[in-house]
Amino acid sequence: MGILDIIILGLAVFRMTHLIVFDKITEFLRSPFFDEVPEMSEDGVEEIFLLPKKGGIKGFVGELLSCYWCTGMWVAVFLYVGNIFIPVFFAPIITVLAVAGVASVIEAAVQSWIRE
C-alpha cells in the first residue's frame, strides 16, 4: 500500500467515522443504543445528554459509538478489509468518502477563517 492509498483510506475512514458518530443524518441508527438524560444548565436551559445504554449488546454498541477513536478503528478495519477482498465494490465507496473528507476539512477551515 502506497502513501497515496493510505491518505485516501485515512480520509475515507475520517469521513465515515464522523458520519456514524456525529452526523444528524445517522442519528436514527445511534438512538437505539443511547438513553437521553435531560439536565438543567446553570442558566436554566434544559440540555439533553446521550449516555450509552447499560449492559448487553446495546450497551456495547453504545460505548463503541460514543468513542470516536474506537469507531474509527473498526471503520478502518472494515474499509481496509473490504478493499482487499472486494475492491470493485469498496474502491468507489472509499473514493467518495475520501472526497467528502477533503470537503469537510476545507469547510471547517473556511468556517474557521470566517469567524476570525
pLDDT at 105: 93
The pLDDT value given to residue 58: 94
Per-residue model confidence as pLDDT tens digits over 31-70: 999 998 888 888 888 888 889 999 999 999 999 999 999 9
Burial letters 41-54, b for 16+ CB under 10 A, else e = eeeeeeeeeeebbe
Question: DSSP state, 53?
Answer: P
DSSP state of 34: E
Name the pTM for this structure.
0.84
Average pLDDT, the chain: 93
* pLDDT given at position 50: 87
* Tens-digit pLDDT profile for residues 80-110: 999 999 999 999 999 999 999 999 999 999 9
Q: What was the pLDDT predicted at 108?
A: 92
| pLDDT above 80 for 116 | no
Cell of 76: 478502518
